[in-house]
Amino acid sequence: MVGAETGICPRSILSALVYREKLGTTAIGNGIALPHATVDQLQQTTTLVASLEQPVDFDSPDGREIDIVCIVLGAPESQGSYLGAIRFVTETLNQNADAIRGAQNIGQLEAAMAASREAAA
């Protein structure tokens, strides 16, 4: 799905994420994981949020299984944007985890994420 959005080979994206994950878990607690990496072919920071039907073990610091995943991909040339996106997404997911978990469709998921964007503005 991220590959289709970015036009980048999914294997390149997966490889970058797996490489980053080997450095240490990207689980942040509260059932949330934030896999992130830079991808050479990428022109701008891209994110993808998913709520999982079945939680998975992700070596979370609080031991909780993960049911919310947000992938953040950044362009090597735009580290500021990439790091800013990671900070923003971390705060947004922590503040809106219950609304994200309760979302029944993409509109509700977008509304949960938009609430934090509006509060930040």
111: annotated active-site residue: no
CA 47 – CA 93 distance, rounded (Å): 12
The verdict on pTM exceeding 0.85 is no
Residue (of 20, 34, 53) closest to 92 by Cα position: 34
pLDDT at position 34, please?
A: 95
Q: What is the DSSP letter of 12?
A: H
Q: Residues 14-44, buried b or exposed e (16+ Cβ, 10 A)?
A: eebbeeebeeeebbbebbbbbbbbbbeebee
**What percent of the chain clears pLDDT 70, i.e. is strictly above it?**
89
Domains along the sequence of the chain with CATH: 2-115 (3.40.930.10)
Residue with tokens 């944007």: 81
Catalytic residue among 27, 35, 36, 47: 36
Beta bridge partners of 50: 69
What end-to-end distance do the CA atoms of the chain give, in Å?
Answer: 29
pLDDT digits (tens, 9 = 90+) for 19-58: 999 999 999 999 999 999 999 888 888 888 888 889 999 9
Residue (of 72, 14, 77) closest to 43 by Cα position: 77
